[in-house]
Amino acid sequence: MTVSLGGIALSDHLRLDGLESRSMVAHSVTHTIGGRAIVQYDSKDMQSGIELALVGENHFTLSQIQAVQALAGQEVTLVHHRGTYQVIILSTPNDSTFGYSDPTGSDWYSGSITMVTV
């Protein structure tokens, strides 16, 4: 499976961080008159507002980063082998972290793309 963000194909070796920081399911417990517990689950409540990060060591090209930066602030689809999510891109690696004096579109970079689920 190819990792993509807003239709931009990215490396399959990117790690997706942030899913473990928050439960994907909300639940509530109520009791009947007889004392039995009724547990209700809703997986939709907890899907939004989760901060995710695509992290890679030398798995981004400058062209990919620039294309992702153009999508910042927009709602896009993230496809990863851990799931498919609607996200808004918050931040990307910036040019000051690249360290190349004359960067080209095919240069490889490390860093993370931070997003929030919607």
Best CA proximity match to 52, nearest among 34, 79, 12: 79
Assessment of whether the complete model's pTM goes beyond 0.75: no
Total domain count, the chain: 1
Token digits of residue 79: 């496809």
Q: Kind and range of the H or E element at 111?
A: strand 108-117
**For residue 105, which phi and psi values (nearest 5 degrees)?**
-65, -20
- Give CA–CA dist 20/100, Å, rounded: 35
Mean pLDDT of the chain: 83
pLDDT at 98: 55
Q: What is the pLDDT of residues 53-100, one digit of tens each?
A: 999 888 888 889 989 999 999 999 999 998 899 999 999 876 545 556
Q: Find the domain containing 58 and state its range.
A: 3-117
List, for residues 96-113, the tens digit of each pLDDT value: 455 566 677 777 888 899
Higher pLDDT, 21 or 71: 71
